[in-house]
Structure 1
Amino acid sequence: MVSINPESKSRAVNREVLSELIKLHGKTSLGGKLPAYDGRKSLYTAGSLPFESEEFSVTLVDPEKKDKEKAEREYKITIRIAGRTDLYHLQQFLKGRQRDMPQETIQVLDVVLRESPSWNYVTVSRSFFSTTFGHRGDIGEGLECWRGYYQSLRPTQMGLSLNIDISATSFFKPVTVVQFVLEFLNLRDASRPLTDRDRIKIKKALRGVRVETNHQEDQIRRYKITGITPVPMSQLIFPVDERGTRMSVVHYFMQRYNYNLQYTSWPCLQSGSDARPVYLPMEACKIVEGQRYSKKLNDKQVANILRATCQRPQQREQSIREMVLHNKYAEDKFAQEFGINVCSDLVSVPARVLPPPMLRYHDSGKEKTCAPSVGQWNMINKKMINGGIIDNWACVSFSRMRPEEVHRFCCDLIQMCNMTGMSVNSRPLVDNRSASPNHIENALRDVYRRTTEMLSKQGHEKQLQLLIVILPEISGSYGKIKKVCETDLGIVSQCYLPRYAARPNKQYLENVALKINVKVGLPPSIEKAFARFGVPAVTKVPTIIFGADVTHPPPGEDSTSSIAVVVASMDWPEITKYRGLVSAQPHRQEIIEDLFSVSKDPQRGNVNGGMIRELLIAFRWKTGRRPERILFYRDSVSEGQLSTVRFHEMNAIRKACAALEEGYMPQIIYIALDK
């Protein structure tokens, strides 16, 4: 176990400290051992150290102050033996003679194999990135895509296996801050002042980013950005000496460095604390290379990353092989130290391709069944079973499409819905409406109000069954439309991109007709007799299928709640209808808190609740049966948290079942998917 004083949150700094310690004392006090370090508290050696506990002292040059005043810092390192790892239990587990997986032993070996890449590449969680792995791609708004690979040591039926895959993520481009701002805000004129909105966006994007100054030819200083000044550089004045003499940043740079600042209408970057701020003109700073952009990417950036990294299976396999050869595991000095050998060939695993389920359609169509090919099929000569019935619908367009184009699209869509087995009124409840993308919410609420009034006049208690929405040409409004329709107004909507709605083809209209049919509350046309396709785990006994996940706030959001969602099938044996529940829980907590709960009521005493209980009750109400088997799929659990999450959530599922009915103990199959 390692403790470093003063303590640093940076793994890179901790590694620098340990590296200096090994240089000074590796061959003497450490007995010639070559340790593997996880960057935090754990240090592993192949064999015992010549001491139980020892304290060392090293002096390190501040990495943020290299090439200037050589500020030195002394660190106290205490190394003490916390335990010894025995490979015997791992061998027994791999041979099937031991049930519990020795996670600590696997972690030790995993850290050893990650030691060399941790020094050579940029580390992001379990992945490593470098510009040496391929061409860096521009993804827009001052960011670029780096290639890398994911690595993790896993126990398998074949023994210990090294799981390697190709990965990619976003990094800040190593450009001047001025260039980054221009790209990030999509500005063409750098002479105009930044608005308050622009300034806030830049502050959020650059907070915590390291920059280096370029206004001194003989010195390169590095700073971490903590904020953006609220006023332009031309108005920024600060004290320059102990007598309180004040000077503007523009005048200071001219007098001190003979540097004529150009972008005086822009704010300054701020480093240091609020009590002792350091003001940095944007044009005098460049973003340090190798800094990951951890905030959420927009749709265009995600598409650019996918476009740059998408590979066919054969290409991906070749890339993985090349990555393994590039890493030279056979020459890795840490692997050699611990006696680890890594085979350079991929493992061959026996596998089979499962047959696709047969699709059944209405008997009135020319084709009554269909076998999908490579996951694809079409609706030609087919009609849906129990097609949906839509008596009232409306359309609103936020695009630049002409009214006659919108009318023609609606007619074509409704005609296709009726041709494929649905029954849809040929006329909208109210006239089609066109509205500005700047007034989306008002337009949606107006359509809702008009349709509600029309139905009320006709003596119907129903509400609008379907709202056809043609999106604006500029992306970004889909989420808002869905929130207003499905969450605020409670109406079903189907959105269309204007480039497809303006020139719809038959295949496109067939696909959206299928979507509409599902949304109006009727099951899709999947063959009910699942048993003939060999899925007895679902069809032999009443089975409910759960899916669960937790979404965490993006980095930088320190107080926002995490959101847990659980969905469950509501029919059997078809498994075509699902119901979902959402619950907020503590920040970045991975265990789903509200699977089962007990609250106290003054009149009723203890009251059982939770999402599992509610969904089990709903399943029984819908099917008339209680589930005898539970399939629980849990997504996105990291290796380190897997056992803890599984224990708590399995316990909650069992408690929810027991609380429903005495002696109720269905079979539970818990399937967790690693991140």
Structure 2
Amino acid sequence: MANILKKKSTLQFLPRHRPVPRPAFKKSPSRGPPREESRGPPREESRGPPRSFKFIYYMASTVQTITIAPKGRRPAANGPPEPGSLPISIGCTEIKSMENESSSEATPQTNGPTQSKPPLTSSHIAVQDLSQVKTVSVLRRSQSVNLVQLPPPLEQQNGIAAKTSTLSRTSPKPKRARSGPRPSIRSLVPQTEILKIAERPDNGGTRGRKTELYTNHYACHLPEELLIYQYDCDLDVQQNGKWLNASRNKYDRFNIVQQIIRHETSFPFVWFDDGKNLYSLLPLNDLKKIYFVKVQQQSFRFTIRQQTREYNIKDMNLFSKKDKSCLMRPQDSIRNIETLLKQTIRQKMICIRQQFYYDKEQQIIDIGSGIGLARGFYQAMFLTKAGPTLNIDTKFSAFYQHMNLVDFISHCLQRDIIQTGLSEKEQEYLLRTHLKPVSIETRHTNSRMKYRIHGFGASANVHTFVQTGDEEEPQISVTAYILKKWNKKLQYPRLPTVEAYNPGNKNSSHIPMELCFIQEWQLVDQKHLTGEQIGEKTKKSVVKPEQRYNDIMEIVRKRQFNSDSYLREIGMTVESGEMLKVRARVLEPPEIEYRDQNVTVQIGKWPIKGKQLHETKQIKKWAIILVTGQVLRNDEQNVLLEFVRQFPIILGHCGLKFFSAPYCNEIVNPSRTDLHECLKYLKEQSYEVSLFLLYNIDEKVYQFIKRASVQLVGVVTQCADFAAIRKNITKLDMYLYNFVCKFNAKLGGINSLVNYKSVLLNSDVNNNAEDDCFMFIGADVTHKIITRGNPSIAAVVASRYPASTQYIGRSTEQRPKNDKKYSVEIIKDFELMCSDLLKVFAQTNGRLPTKIVVYRDGVDDGHFQKVLDNEVQALKKACKDICGEHQLPKITFVIIKKRHNTRFFCYDARKNPQTFNTEPGTVIDTEIVHPSQFDFYLNSHAAIQGTNNCILYHVLYNEIGFTSDEIQQLTYFLCHTDVRCTKAVKMPAAARYAHNIAYDARYLRGNDIKPEEQDRTDFNQWDDE
């Protein structure tokens, strides 16, 4: 690349960097012991002089420094960041890193007076574990973290004057050691007031232009009073003269019980939930308790046991009318009606997770690796201000295709394993990436047995086991046993067997692969899909509003609610002729403030061309590195030259200044050694920022560049897709104008400002908004594949300045109690992270915030009270600890819900005969919202494709006292503050940053790759360190 540029460019370039081959890297003590040994005591042997690293975490721009030192060593003495350190990118989080030059810097001082410890100020997560305070970091679990004194506060921005205040610097006392295991988290602050979910402060907002929308809810009418009786029931199957629990799938259980109900004329009107519950409108005390039926040569026994519950359907009506006698949502009654609604469609459809329905006879769309797409719909009951409604939406879901296990593995590896077999690396790869979540079944025993795979064994010809009770042939191979026991000759006895266990008894068995089948209608989690598969799923599921509207109406038509016999029995009707019409408003967007002018937002976006960014940086040394899987052709080389030529020019138009030509390098078919050596060279030469152009390479290369630059070297890296540059070569200037926002923010600049305080002026509640000092917090918890080796990642970010232009972030791992396999939704260390962020805010601005607004992502309705009892209380305690005797900041805590199935459609035949998306700024707080609690739908962005998905905001705690208008417009304005684009985004920037930090933290952990890539790039070498 460098030679190419020299021929056609007048810029000066350094010679191409060619890494020198090095021996295999040994594990450094600074990296800690292996992951599986990280909980044990530190090793005594020495492997050379230990190293420590300094990291600076910041969002867009911060200067908070921590030191990560080897286990068993104290970090260097506290002090300001060393000059020349460079930030490293992790999505929205930036980390600075440098390797200490002298080992004495990491050596603790033993002589001289004892130095006073600085206040708790920097990026760390301290977890109280019994009596020992440990430090958890997503970088290395075994490393310890020491805090370094912050530099003086930076200059105030956006004209907000600094007000000094004395902070409480008293460190919290360590807790006493517990003699037993830690109890489960109930409340971080048990001895506090009991918090209640906030109620709507008014009758809804009034600001904005009024309009009307259609939503995919259908009004339902229920009888005023109706008693429903719930009974326990059992379904057993007869095997070898004994009655055993019939552990069949829900579809089989439903059909068997339906046959019994149809056969027994004495049965009153009842319905079954596929499990152990039977519902009736009449008491069943006088009914026969045991029933028998024979299905497919098998005898079944159905037993009705005691009555367990009694429900009155009037609670649903009272809740929608905000009656004080029913303040809690009657969830059990809702579930009973939802069970009733699915009785008539269970004959032809598969029900997944109680609310998703798919036609069993449809053709599955193949998207590769044995995974297919199925089309279905979502159906659920809601209790709203308009009364009970039925929400129906289209749904595309991925399923494992029902096929033989040999074919499934061949699809995963994209080759026929019958001819080539499986290597050990391929077996390990399959277990990590494809087979762990898959359930299989066998049929050769004349009954279906379910298994889960946890390993591979020797081939069926080689693997032998001891037969009990057979003295003539005690040792027998799997092939011979299958032939002898089941009279079945194996076709592929040379293939490895699978080591599988039955979920019921956990007993392992070695089963030939050809006898195993992928269980039918097994849902694939989104986390198990590749980028290509997600793309194919998006193409099928993303449809225009008019098509989605018509598809939903067709689903409702086929459901035939008016002729449903079950609905007639209870007196329920559904207005299925048209979607529910709701009132809405369109809010005014904010003005975007640049250095030299203000810009008006038009349809959710605004131009940046010809605008000077609010605050930019000067770049003295920078680099462009091309990482490609193949040598560039001549036309691609021309594209590269044009990009290098225009890059500093376009960015200069926006205010960035480059004082030198870039250093250029090209790495073809990269290995990890090549990338590591290149990053080290960039660090040694003190390059301020390095732009990596990635072309025809695997995603793991990108992940490794980020991981190595953060953990091993310490340089600022910005990656770009060279294929996208080629595609946009005719409009390269527009591509670069979009690119400049993220590039400037990564260097610590400020792109633009939004005057969010304007929405709070002239308010009776917040009449002193101009003097208020706001702090905005975003929080999220992400879960990868829930295993003992993959914990949840919690992230919290906060605005560093009241102007809400720069954010700092904290993240930590979360593991469930006793290392179980379930996700942890509540942020355990929320108090410690918020304390840290409050101190950084106070040191930066010279004052504490007076009001804190939290946007919490990823919480469902069932966890609202837990969030109040734990996270809100933790934040209040953090404020109390930091503020001391000063006035405590007021808090508003807002839940963000993205995963709902409510959609809105604009339709006005007088203006436009077509159905179209809602406008940016559309807010809905009438009809379909909660009858009494404080929630609203807000569509802040313009849809790029498909139908817009509005965000549902639920104000959980409102100590500030926002009105509906204030919190709605404030939230809308904050959706215009994302530093990476010139568009209004789906949610406030703080919540997006928290999501990105938690998501990108996975790059700091080991990743799975294909075995053929392992040979070429040796990607697993550093993943295990």
Determine if the TM-score, normalized by the shorter chain, exceeds 0.5. yes
Query: 1:43: how far off?
Result: 4.6
Does the alignment pair 1:175 with 2:175?
Answer: no
Matches within 5 A, 1:428-507: 428=662, 431-440=663-672, 442-455=673-686, 464-477=687-700, 478-502=702-726, 504=729, 505-507=732-734
Check the 8 A contact 2:440/2:516 in 1, yes or no: no
> Which of 304, 314, 335 in structure 1 is aligned with 2:546?
314
Equivalent position SS for 2:535: helix
Check the 8 A contact 2:457/2:498 in 1, yes or no: no
Residue of structure 2 in register with 1:301 after alignment: 533
Residue of structure 1 in register with 2:582 after alignment: 349
Query: 1:310: how far off?
Result: 0.9
Distance 1:529 1:200, change over 3 A: closer
- Equivalent-residue separation in structure 2 for 1:407 and 1:142 (angstroms): 42
Residue of structure 2 in register with 1:96 after alignment: 322
Query: 1:194: how far off?
Result: 0.9
Check the 8 A contact 1:153/1:162 in 2, yes or no: yes
Residue of structure 1 in register with 2:462 after alignment: 235
Residue of structure 2 in register with 1:575 after alignment: 804
For 1:341-380, what per-residue CA distance to the aligned partner results, in whole angstroms no more than 9, with x for missing partners?
22212111112333333333343xxxx4433433344433
Equivalent position SS for 2:409: helix
Question: Higher mean Cα deviation, 243-252 or 501-510?
Answer: 243-252
Residue of structure 2 in register with 1:19 after alignment: 257
- Equivalent-residue separation in structure 2 for 1:223 and 1:435 (angstroms): 49
> Which of 381, 387, 391 in structure 2 is aligned with 1:153?
381
> Which of 593, 606, 609 in structure 2 is aligned with 1:380?
609
Using CA pairs below 8 Å that are at least 6 residues apart, which structure has the higher relative contact order? 2
- Equivalent-residue separation in structure 2 for 1:377 and 1:356 (angstroms): 11
Query: 1:120: how far off?
Result: 4.7
Distance 1:100 1:524, change over 3 A: farther
Matches within 5 A, 1:522-533: 522-528=749-755, 531=758
Check the 8 A contact 1:544/1:627 in 2, yes or no: yes
Check the 8 A contact 2:270/2:278 in 1, yes or no: no
Check the 8 A contact 1:137/1:308 in 2, yes or no: no
- Equivalent-residue separation in structure 1 for 2:631 and 2:593 (angstroms): 37
Equivalent position SS for 2:744: helix
Does the alignment pair 1:416 with 2:650?
Answer: yes
Matches within 5 A, 1:609-624: 610-624=832-846
RMSD, aligned CA: 3.8
Distance 1:529 1:567, change over 3 A: closer
Distance 1:255 1:40, change over 3 A: closer
- Equivalent-residue separation in structure 2 for 1:359 and 1:381 (angstroms): 14
Check the 8 A contact 1:563/1:584 in 2, yes or no: yes
For 1:61-119, what per-residue CA distance to the aligned partner results, in whole angstroms no more than 9, with x for missing partners?
7xxxx86xx5657676533333x333444433322343833333434434433555566
Distance 1:545 1:293, change over 3 A: same
Query: 1:193: how far off?
Result: 1.8
Residue of structure 2 in register with 1:671 after alignment: 895
> What percentage of residue pairs aligned between the two structures are identical?
23
- Equivalent-residue separation in structure 1 for 2:842 and 2:602 (angstroms): 36
Check the 8 A contact 2:591/2:755 in 1, yes or no: no
Residue of structure 2 in register with 1:515 after alignment: 742
- Equivalent-residue separation in structure 1 for 2:533 and 2:272 (angstroms): 37
Amino acid at match of 2:752: S
- Equivalent-residue separation in structure 2 for 1:375 and 1:47 (angstroms): 56
Check the 8 A contact 1:209/1:225 in 2, yes or no: yes
Question: Higher mean Cα deviation, 240-249 or 342-351?
Answer: 240-249
Amino acid at match of 1:435: I
- How many residues matched? 629
Query: 1:305: how far off?
Result: 0.4
For 1:31-52, what per-residue CA distance to the aligned partner results, in whole angstroms no more than 9, with x for missing partners?
6141353x5565543354437x
Query: 1:334: how far off?
Result: 3.7
For 1:217-274, what per-residue CA distance to the aligned partner results, in whole angstroms no more than 9, with x for missing partners?
xx68555353554223443345677233555455666788887655444223455568
- Equivalent-residue separation in structure 2 for 1:507 and 1:279 (angstroms): 58
Query: 1:210: how far off?
Result: 3.0
Check the 8 A contact 1:395/1:469 in 2, yes or no: yes
Check the 8 A contact 1:233/1:281 in 2, yes or no: no
Residue of structure 2 in register with 1:591 after alignment: 826
Residue of structure 2 in register with 1:390 after alignment: 619
Equivalent position SS for 2:823: coil
Does the alignment pair 1:634 with 2:863?
Answer: no
Equivalent position SS for 1:515: helix
Matches within 5 A, 1:654-669: 654-661=876-883, 662=885, 664=888, 666-669=890-893
Query: 1:655: how far off?
Result: 2.7
> Which of 311, 314, 317 in structure 2 is aligned with 1:85?
311
Check the 8 A contact 2:479/2:493 in 1, yes or no: yes
Distance 1:289 1:263, change over 3 A: same
Residue of structure 1 in register with 2:125 after alignment: none
Equivalent position SS for 1:450: helix
Q: TM-score scaled by structure 1?
A: 0.81
For 1:202-225, what per-residue CA distance to the aligned partner results, in whole angstroms no more than 9, with x for missing partners?
445345523455x89xx6855535
Equivalent position SS for 1:140: coil
Distance 1:547 1:151, change over 3 A: farther
Residue of structure 1 in register with 2:439 after alignment: 209
Query: 1:171: how far off?
Result: 0.8
- Equivalent-residue separation in structure 2 for 1:621 and 1:87 (angstroms): 56
Does the alignment pair 1:649 with 2:871?
Answer: yes
For 1:560-603, what per-residue CA distance to the aligned partner results, in whole angstroms no more than 9, with x for missing partners?
4222222222222x32222222122224122222222xxxxxxx
Amino acid at match of 1:484: A
- Equivalent-residue separation in structure 1 for 2:489 and 2:791 (angstroms): 47
- Equivalent-residue separation in structure 1 for 2:327 and 2:783 (angstroms): 30
Question: Higher mean Cα deviation, 342-351 or 352-361?
Answer: 352-361
Check the 8 A contact 1:494/1:516 in 2, yes or no: yes
Distance 1:189 1:147, change over 3 A: same
Check the 8 A contact 1:55/1:78 in 2, yes or no: no
Distance 1:489 1:638, change over 3 A: same
Q: Any gaps of 5 or more consecutive residues in structure 2?
A: 1-230, 237-243, 817-821, 900-1025
Distance 1:563 1:435, change over 3 A: same
- Equivalent-residue separation in structure 2 for 1:60 and 1:279 (angstroms): 33
- Equivalent-residue separation in structure 1 for 2:721 and 2:392 (angstroms): 38
Query: 1:27: how far off?
Result: 5.6
Distance 1:117 1:535, change over 3 A: farther
Q: TM-score scaled by structure 2?
A: 0.55
- Equivalent-residue separation in structure 2 for 1:25 and 1:637 (angstroms): 45
Matches within 5 A, 1:166-315: 166-188=394-416, 190-203=418-431, 205-206=434-435, 208-211=438-441, 213=443, 223-227=450-454, 229-238=456-465, 242-243=470-471, 244=473, 246-250=475-479, 261-271=490-500, 277=509, 279-282=511-514, 284-294=515-525, 296-315=528-547
Query: 1:484: how far off?
Result: 2.3
Residue of structure 2 in register with 1:566 after alignment: 796
- Equivalent-residue separation in structure 2 for 1:524 and 1:191 (angstroms): 58
Query: 1:280: how far off?
Result: 2.9
- Equivalent-residue separation in structure 1 for 2:898 and 2:327 (angstroms): 18
Amino acid at match of 1:50: N
- The structure where helix makes up a greater share of residues is 1
Check the 8 A contact 1:466/1:492 in 2, yes or no: yes
Equivalent position SS for 2:892: strand
Amino acid at match of 1:45: S
